C-alpha cells in the first residue's frame, strides 16, 4: 500500500460458498489441514431463503462454521429487531459505511452497531494493543491480550456477523492517512484519545461533508456534528475558538488542557470524573471509564446512527444521558386516577376513631372527581367547607355536543352519586339538593354533611373507586336475567329508567345508526376539532384530562387510520364528496360485539333531571362492573338534541340526517314521549382496560373554585 501501517481489506471471516468451484477447493484444503475444525449447527435454510448455505472460516480460531446464506442469515439474526426497525429500514441502514477511530470505548459502539444491523461496512482504526487494564470496559478476554484493539473488535464482530464488511487499520490515523480512512464513509465515530486527532478528524470530515459522532462516558455525553447538513457547524461547535490541527500540534500536553476542559465542559463533569482528570498523570495512568457508561454511550451513538441513516431529525449539538443523575430522581409511581388508597375490606372500618372530619371531606371530594364525563373533560369545580360539599358545573369546559350543558349535568349527577357513596361509607351522608338558578353556575349540587351510613350505598364504595371505561371490542355473550334485573333496579333506584337491548338484530340495527352518527361527527368541522382535541398521546400536554389513545383499544390498523382521520383537511375532502362511510366502522364493530346496549332515560328536561339521570348512570355502571361486565359509553351526536335549534347548533349541514337518526334510534330503543336519553352504554365481555382514565388532582379542582 506504500504506508507504514498495516491494513486488512477484510478484518473478519472468509466466507466460502460450496457451490462455487474456487471456494470448494479452499474448503477441501481446509478440511485436509490438521487442527482445523468444521462445525455445522445451522440446519437447512428456511423456505424462501438462499438456495445454498455458506461456510465462514475464522483463521484465528482454526474453525470453519456452516452458516445460512446472506439473506436467510440476516432475516433470522435480525428477526427480533422487527417493528422497532422495519425490514425496509434495515435494508436501508445496511448500506451505511461507518468508520470508528479508537477501539477501547469504540469496541462497544462497533459491536452495538453490528448487533443491531445498523450498517453494512465498518472501518476500524486503533494503533494500540489490548492490555489487562482495558478489560474493565473492553468486551474482550485474556486470550486477546497483546493483540491490536481494532483487530480484537473486528474478530468479535466477524463471529457475530460473518457477512459484515470489515476493514482494519492497525495504526493511528494521522494527517497522512486521514483521507484514505474517511474515503467512502457515511458516518465517522470519533473515540480517539488525542485532542490533535479529534480536531484532525473533524476538519477532514467537514471538508467531505461526513457527520461526526462522539460519546464521552462521564455523565453520558453524546456529541453530534452534522457536517453533512447546511449550514455546517464549526469544528467542535466552536468550543476551541480558532485553534486548528496545526496550532494544536505545537502545544505541550499541559497547554492543551484548557482546550480539553472546554471540550468536556468541566462544569458538567461528575465530581469523580473531574477529580480524576486532575489525577491523570499523577496517581492515574489514564482517564478512568466504566463498562456501564461505555455501553450507555454505545446505545446513544446507535440511535444517532439510526436517525442519520433513515433521514430522521437529528441536529448538531450535545445531550447528556446521565444514568446516575436519573437514578437520583427516582420517584414512587402513583396511578393518576388513584386519589385514595384502596379501602379496607370492611367498609365500616373507614368510620373508625382515626377518621377526621377533614379526612372524610377529602375522601368524599376525591370520590366525586372520579366520575365519568363526556370526553373526560371533568366539568366540575368543587368547594368544601364545614357544612357541605358543593359541585358547580364549569361552563368553560363545555363543547358543542354538550347541548345546553346537558352532558355536563349528567357528569355532575354522577359525581354527586360518587360523593354520596363515599359519604355513606364514612358515616357522613347528609341531604342532597340540585338547583339550576344558582347565581354563579347553571347547575349547582350540594350535599350537606350528616351522620348517615346508608349500607346499600356504602357497600358500593370499593367498586365505585375501581370504576373505569372499557373500550375493548369484547364478545357478544348473553346477559343473565338476574343481571338485567340488577341493572334495572340500580337505575330505577336513582329515579331513571333502563332500556336494555339484548336482541342481536336490534343491536346490529342500532350499530348502523350510531356508526352513521359518528360519520357526521367526523365530517362536521367543529365536532371533529373538538373530538380530536380530546385525544391524548403519551407525550402530549394536558395529561390530566381527555382520552388516552391507548384507552381506545385500537389495533395496529385502526391506530394507523387514526392518523388520517385526525386531519381536518382529509375530513373536508370527504365531506365535499359526502364520503367517509368507513368513519363509523369502529363504532359499528364495537357496538355489534356488545353483550347488550343499555340506554338510560329520564322524564323531564331540566338540568336537574339530567343530573338525576347522571346518578342513575353511575349506579348502573357500578352494578354492571360488579356483575362482571365492562362498560363503554357511546355518545351519538344527536343524544342531547331536543329541537331544530339544537340540531342546527350541532351540525348545520346535517340537520335532517341527525333528526332522522334520532327518530330511528328512539324507535329501536322503545323510548316513549317525554323520555330523554342520558347516555348509551355498551356492556363489554372482554379483558380489562389497557390504561386507567386520566384525572385532575383534587387540589386542581378545588383551586379552580377558589
Residue with cell 465498518: 122
Number of C-beta neighbours around residue 311 at 10 A: 8
Under a CB-based contact definition with an 8 Å cutoff, are residues 610 and 618 in contact? Answer: no
Which domains, ranges and CATH numbers included, belong to the chain?
4-68 (no CATH), 77-322 (3.40.50.720), 358-455 (3.40.109.10), 469-684 (3.40.109.10)
pLDDT at residue 483 in the model? 96
Q: What is the mean pLDDT of each run of 10 residues along the chain (706 residues)?
A: 40 89 94 95 55 85 94 94 91 97 96 97 96 94 95 96 96 94 98 92 96 92 95 89 83 73 72 68 77 94 97 94 87 54 39 64 95 94 94 94 97 97 95 94 96 92 95 94 96 97 96 96 95 86 82 82 82 86 92 97 96 97 96 96 97 97 96 95 94 84 54
Nearest to 318 by CA among 243, 262, 275, 273: 262
339, 355, 369 from 449: Cα distances, Å: 21, 14, 18
Judged by DSSP in three states, 483 sits in: helix
Strand partners, 683: 596, 631
Burial of 459 (0-12, 13-18, 19+ CB in 10 A): middle
Distance between CA atoms of residues 148 and 130, nearest Å? 6
pLDDT at residue 541 in the model? 67
- Pairing assessment for the beta strands 535-536 and 596-603 based on DSSP bridges: unpaired
CA angle 198, 200, 203 (to 5 degrees): 110
Terminal-to-terminal C-alpha distance of the chain? 82
CA angle 458, 462, 466 (to 5 degrees): 140
Nearest to 201 by CA among 231, 59, 192: 192
pLDDT at residue 275 in the model? 67
User: Which helix H or strand E contains 409, and what residues bound it?
Assistant: helix 406-425
Residue with cell 344558582: 438
Distance of CA 387 to the CA centre of its chain: 45
Nearest to 248 by CA among 201, 206, 211, 197: 197
pLDDT at residue 48 in the model? 43
Distance between CA atoms of residues 138 and 151, nearest Å? 13
pLDDT at residue 543 in the model? 67
pLDDT at residue 255 in the model? 73
Distance between CA atoms of residues 446 and 382, nearest Å? 10
pLDDT at residue 58 in the model? 96
Amino acid at each position: 500500500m506504500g504506508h507504514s501501517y498495516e491494513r486488512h481489506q477484510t478484518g473478519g471471516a472468509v466466507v466460502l460458498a460450496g457451490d462455487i468451484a474456487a471456494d470448494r477447493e479452499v474448503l477441501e484444503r481446509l478440511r485436509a489441514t490438521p487442527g482445523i475444525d468444521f462445525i455445522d449447527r445451522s440446519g437447512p435454510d428456511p423456505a424462501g431463503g438462499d438456495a445454498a448455505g455458506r461456510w465462514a472460516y475464522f483463521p484465528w480460531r482454526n474453525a470453519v462454521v456452516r452458516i445460512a446464506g446472506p439473506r436467510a442469515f440476516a432475516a433470522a439474526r435480525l428477526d427480533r429487531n422487527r417493528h422497532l426497525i422495519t425490514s425496509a429500514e434495515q435494508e436501508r441502514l445496511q448500506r451505511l459505511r461507518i468508520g470508528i477511530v479508537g477501539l477501547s470505548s469504540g469496541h462497544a459502539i462497533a459491536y452495538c452497531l453490528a448487533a443491531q444491523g445498523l450498517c453494512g461496512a465498518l472501518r476500524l482504526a486503533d494503533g494500540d494493543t489490548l492490555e489487562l487494564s482495558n478489560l474493565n470496559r473492553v468486551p474482550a478476554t485474556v486470550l486477546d491480550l497483546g493483540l491490536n484493539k481494532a483487530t480484537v473488535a473486528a474478530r468479535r464482530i466477524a463471529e457475530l456477523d460473518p457477512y459484515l464488511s470489515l476493514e482494519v487499520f492497525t495504526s493511528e490515523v494521522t494527517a497522512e492517512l486521514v483521507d484514505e480512512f474517511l474515503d467512502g464513509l457515511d458516518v465517522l465515530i470519533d473515540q480517539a484519545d488525542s485532542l490533535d486527532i479529534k480536531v484532525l478528524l473533524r476538519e477532514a470530515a467537514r471538508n467531505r461533508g461526513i457527520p461526526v459522532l462522539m460519546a464521552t462516558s462521564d455523565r453520558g455525553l453524546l456529541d453530534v456534528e452534522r457536517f453533512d447538513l447546511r449550514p455546517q457547524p464549526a469544528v467542535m461547535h466552536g468550543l476551541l475558538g480558532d485553534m486548528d490541527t496545526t496550532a494544536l500540534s505545537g502545544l505541550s500536553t499541559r497547554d492543551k488542557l484548557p482546550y480539553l476542559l472546554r471540550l468536556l465542559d468541566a462544569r458538567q463533569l461528575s465530581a469523580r470524573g473531574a477529580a480524576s482528570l486532575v489525577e491523570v498523570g499523577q496517581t492515574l495512568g489514564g482517564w478512568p471509564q466504566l463498562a456501564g457508561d461505555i455501553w450507555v454511550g454505545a446505545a446513544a451513538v446507535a440511535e444517532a446512527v439510526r436517525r442519520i441513516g433513515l433521514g430522521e431529525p437529528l441536529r448538531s449539538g450535545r445531550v447528556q444521558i446521565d444514568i446516575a443523575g436519573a437514578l437520583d430522581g427516582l420517584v414512587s409511581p402513583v396511578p393518576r386516577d388513584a386519589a385514595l388508597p384502596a379501602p379496607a375490606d370492611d367498609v365500616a372500618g373507614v368510620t373508625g376513631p382515626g377518621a377526621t372530619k377533614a379526612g372524610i371531606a377529602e375522601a368524599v371530594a376525591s370520590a366525586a372527581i372520579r366520575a365519568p364525563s363526556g370526553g373526560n373533560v371533568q366539568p366540575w369545580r368543587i368547594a368544601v367547607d364545614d357544612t357541605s360539599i358543593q359541585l358547580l358545573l364549569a361552563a368553560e369546559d363545555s363543547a358543542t355536543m354538550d347541548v345546553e350543558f346537558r352532558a355536563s349535568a349528567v357528569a355532575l349527577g354522577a359525581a354527586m352519586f360518587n360523593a354520596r357513596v363515599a359519604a355513606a361509607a364514612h358515616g357522613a351522608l347528609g341531604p342532597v339538593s340540585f338547583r339550576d338558578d344558582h347565581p354563579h353556575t347553571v347547575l349547582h349540587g350540594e350535599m350537606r354533611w350528616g351522620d348517615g351510613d346508608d349500607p346499600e350505598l356504602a357497600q358500593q364504595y370499593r367498586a365505585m373507586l375501581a370504576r373505569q371505561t372499557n373500550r375493548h371490542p369484547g364478545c357478544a355473550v348473553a346477559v343473565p336475567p338476574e343481571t338485567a334485573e340488577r341493572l334495572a333496579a340500580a337505575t330505577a333506584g336513582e329515579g331513571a329508567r333502563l332500556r336494555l337491548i339484548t336482541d342481536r338484530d336490534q343491536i346490529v340495527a342500532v350499530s348502523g345508526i350510531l356508526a352513521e352518527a359518528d360519520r357526521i361527527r367526523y365530517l362536521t368541522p367543529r365536532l371533529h376539532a373538538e373530538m380530536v382535541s380530546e385525544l391524548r398521546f403519551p407525550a402530549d400536554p394536558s395529561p390530566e384530562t381527555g382520552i388516552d389513545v391507548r384507552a381506545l383499544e385500537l389495533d395496529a390498523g385502526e391506530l394507523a387510520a387514526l392518523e388520517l382521520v385526525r386531519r381536518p383537511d382529509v375530513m373536508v375532502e370527504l365531506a365535499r364528496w359526502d364520503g367517509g362511510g368507513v368513519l363509523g366502522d369502529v363504532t359499528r364493530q364495537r357496538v355489534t360485539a356488545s353483550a347488550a346496549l343499555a340506554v338510560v332515560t329520564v322524564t323531564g328536561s331540566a338540568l336537574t333531571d339530567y343530573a338525576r339521570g347522571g346518578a342513575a348512570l353511575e349506579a348502573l355502571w357500578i352494578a354492571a362492573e360488579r356483575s362482571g361486565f365492562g362498560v363503554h359509553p357511546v355518545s351519538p351526536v344527536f343524544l342531547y338534541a331536543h329541537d331544530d335549534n339544537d340540531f342546527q347548533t350541532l351540525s348545520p349541514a346535517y340537520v335532517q340526517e341527525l333528526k332522522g337518526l334520532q327518530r330511528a334510534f328512539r324507535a329501536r330503543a322503545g323510548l316513549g314521549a317525554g323520555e330523554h336519553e342520558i347516555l348509551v352504554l355498551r356492556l363489554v365481555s372482554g379483558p380489562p382496560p389497557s390504561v386507567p382514565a386520566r384525572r385532575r388532582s383534587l387540589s386542581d379542582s378545588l383551586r379552580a373554585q377558589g
